[in-house]
Structure formats: structure tokens, C-alpha cells
A = this chain, B = another copy of it.
């Protein structure tokens, strides 16, 4: 397989996307413990929390407390999600290294999820960027439902490209394409990212896959084939989709890292430490997690004959 990137950067989203929909509140100390444990695996980017309204997402009510307690080793970027200007100001006060803004490619999903049209979301993002820039903090934008919408179905690639273009005009530093409900397939990923990457070869793009229908790691490989080097994942594969309550969540960080290492791609991450984080997350949440390598162990394990 020629032309795959030699190095990939993982963005951990377990303590944000992974737990935000959980009914039971994860104690703040355990969030801090997990964030710090993840930071010790070699991860350089962690979407640790969300400065969303506590009424909208009670699980994230402790965002500022978490941000105040995490360790700050050099080279590590703590990058919370911010839904609006109020959240962005709170996140900057909490010493965020980068802000993550989000909108959906589908109006129906955006309206349902954050009660705004896509145009209104872009207006909100336009307010955040100068504030972040003044603080010297870069901004990543995530486009939810880039590969399909659970309400609308297909999302035209031209629509995704239009939103990418508008975000770049607004000055975002990086764009992530998210398969919010696990609808992407490898042919689609390779076609869409091929088109986007050739139109904007200088822009860093990230990919955010869910394993809802088992295609998560196949989609990562499809992204690699187009040269994308930034992948979101959640420790243990936690996370989920309100549309498929029994389905799995985000692709599992340790499963993606394990595959990348087996493929000869460097991540700079300590796989064993990631597996220990996944096992600890399983203890914290009190249930089995979807991650596979945490159960089977890495390929490198040898059994006595």
C-alpha cells in the first residue's frame, strides 16, 4: 500500500464525545484522573471537555473544574469543544490550548442538535474566531454529519465542500469531518477526502469516525489513503449514538493505534498505556467497552505452544 502517511496524530475525544451522552454523571475527580492518564500515554491532543450549557449537557457541567486540574506537560494541547461565544470565553479563561467549534452539514441535524440553522452556526463561529485569535489560540472546526444525516440521508459532497470553504474564509485553522452516526463507508471516505484534499492541499483535515456499523477502522484506512493524518478516537471505544442505543461509539483509540502500528505507521503513543486507560475507563463506567484490543491483546502477544 504505497503512499500512506508515515505518521498520524490521534485526537482523544473519550472524556468529551465518549461520555457526554451518558445518563450517570461521571465524578469530576474521575474525569480528571482519566484526562491525566491519557495525557501520559503520549497523546498530544485531547478534546477533554465541552463548555456547553450545563442545562443542555449536565455531564459537562464541570468543564472549568476539569480544565483547572489537569496537568500541563509541554507539547500537549487540551482542546475543549465550545458551542458559542460564551463557551469560548469560558474555555479561554480556563487556559485552553485550542478551541473546537462544531456545526453540522445537514440543516435538519443542526436544528435538532443545537437549535440553529447552519448559517446561524457559521455566524456564531465568525464571532468566536477573532476572540480566539486575540488570545493566540487556534480554532478547529468540526463538521458533523459530513458523511450522512440520520434525518436527511445522503449529504451531498458539494454541500460539505461549501461549508469547508466558508469555515476557511472565516479563518479556522483546521477542519474535521465527522461521521456523527456511523454512516460513512470506505469508498465514500476516499472519494470525499480525495476531492477535499486536492481542493485545499495546504489545510490540515481531520477525520472523526464512529464504529456504529463496524466500518470505523476501514474508514480510517480509507482516510489514510487520501493522506489525512489526524484522527479522532475515544478510549475503549466509548461514546454512542442516540439513534442506535445498542451500537458502539467512536472508533476506539487503542484499536486504531494498534492497527496503525501494525501497518507500520507511527503515532508516538504507548499502546500498553492506552490499553490500561481503556481498562480503567471500563472500571469507572462499570461496564464492558467496545474496544477489541483491550480484550484480545495486541497481535504481538505470543502464546506458549
Show the binding face of A for B, using Cβ within 8 Å. 1, 4, 108, 111-112, 148, 150-153, 182-183, 185-188, 190-191, 211-218, 220-222, 241, 243-244, 246-248, 252, 255, 258-259, 262-264, 291-293, 295-305
Give the top 5 A-B pairs by smallest Cβ distance, nearest first.
Answer: A247-B296, A244-B296, A185-B262, A214-B292, A246-B295
Oligomeric state, in copies? 2
C-alpha spacing A201/B227, complex, angstroms: 30
**Across the interface, which residues of B come within 8 angstroms of A4, CB to CB?**
187
Specify which chain B residues have a CB less than 8 angstroms from the CB of A218 in the assembled complex.
217-218, 220-221, 259
In the assembled complex, the Cα of A295 lies from the Cα of B258 at a distance in Å of: 25
Choice from B188, B259, B296, B305 contacting A185 with Cβ under 8 Å:
B259
Chain B residues near A185 (CB, 8 Å)? 259, 262-263, 299
User: A302: which of B150, B186, B216, B262 is its contact (CB, 8 Å)?
Assistant: B150
B241–A1 touching, CB < 8 Å:
no
A212: which B residues are within 8 A, CB to CB?
Answer: 292, 296
Please name the residue on chain B nearest to A245 by beta carbon.
Answer: B295
Residues of B within 8 A of A215 (CB): 217, 255, 259, 262
Question: Would you call A292 and B112 a contact (CB within 8 A)?
Answer: no
Separation of A259 and B216 alpha carbons in the complex (Å): 11
When the two chains form their complex, are residues A213 and B303 in contact, meaning their CB atoms are under 8 A apart? no
Are A246 and B214 in contact (CB-based, < 8 A)? no
Residues B217 and A214 in contact, CB atoms below 8 Å apart: yes
Q: How far is the CA of A39 from the CA of B249 in the complex (A)?
A: 32
- Most chain B CB within a 10 A radius of its CB, from A221, A241, A291: A221
Contact call A151/B213, Cβ cutoff below 8 A? no
**Contact call B187/A264, Cβ cutoff below 8 A:** yes
**Closest residue of B by beta carbon distance from A247:** B296
Distance of A192 from chain B, by nearest CB (Å): 11
Q: When chains A and B are docked, how far (Å) is the Cα of A263 from the Cα of B219?
A: 11
Q: Kindly list chain B residues whose C-beta atoms are within 8 Å of the C-beta of A259.
A: 185-186, 213-215, 218
Pairwise interchain contact A299-B214, C-beta atoms closer than 8 A: no
CA distance A292 to B212 in the complex (A): 6
- CA distance in complex: A213, B275 (Å): 12
Knowing A259-B185, A292-B247, A293-B213, the reply to whether A153 touches B1 (Cβ < 8 A) is no
Smallest beta-carbon distance A39→chain B, Å: 24
Q: A150-B301, A217-B217 are in contact. Are A248 and B292 (CB under 8 A)?
A: yes
In the complex, given contacts A1-B222, A218-B259, A244-B297, what are 20 additional A-B residue pairs having Cβ atoms less than 8 angstroms apart?
A1-B191, A111-B305, A148-B299, A151-B305, A152-B302, A182-B296, A185-B259, A185-B299, A188-B262, A212-B296, A213-B298, A213-B299, A214-B216, A214-B258, A215-B217, A215-B255, A221-B221, A221-B222, A241-B296, A247-B295
